[in-house]
Amino acid sequence: MTAQEIIARLPYQDPFLFVDTLTEITLEGISGQYTFNKDAYFYKGHFKNRPITPGVILTECMAQIGLVCLGMYMLKEELRGNAIPQIALTSSQVDFFLPVYPGEQVTVVSEKDVFRFHKLKCNVKLYNEKGELVCRGKLSGMIKTPEKSEL
């Protein structure tokens, strides 16, 4: 499964798709980028006169690239055809260090910790354009592939 195929099959769409490119994909990890649109809806109220990207949105970006895209790649044999998986984030623990401003591109780097019974746990880091660590954490999620009768 290629990077473009993974992105096309993600169960998200604008304005809630936070994956532009995937630059490296292996069974052990993944990396990719996203550029936050200056006109994104969440900047209008976060914060007055000095908008920054909400932590929950940064966490979602990390989860989409570092957990969902990696999980789809790991389950590529079960996701044949046009199957789109069902995704559930089961836990997140993220530490934040720096803000991300409108228009900034971020890079997400994720390393698989454990993958068993369709549950994936990863160590994920998010960097800004300067290569500075913005946030890092542990994310876990479940990925359900469609039953053969659903394909």
Tokens of 21: 């490119």
Tokens of 72: 């789809």
Q: How confident is the model at residue 1 (pLDDT cuts 50, 70, 90)?
A: confident
CATH of region 3-150: 3.10.129.10
What three-state secondary structure class fits 88? strand
Please indicate whether residue 46 is annotated as part of the active site.
yes
Kindly tell me if the per-residue pLDDT of 148 is higher than 60.
no
What is the DSSP secondary structure assignment for residue 131, as one 8-state letter?
S
- 45-67 per-position pLDDT tens digit: 889 889 999 999 999 999 999 99
Catalytic residue among 9, 46, 119, 121: 46
Tell me what the mean pLDDT of segment 9-29 comes to.
95
Of 45, 124, 141, the residue nearest 88 (C-alpha): 141
Domain ranges of the chain: 3-150
Residue 41, exposed/middle/buried by CB under 10 A (0-12, 13-18, 19+)?
Answer: exposed
Tell me what the mean pLDDT of segment 135-150 comes to.
81
Kindly tell me if the per-residue pLDDT of 149 is higher than 50.
no
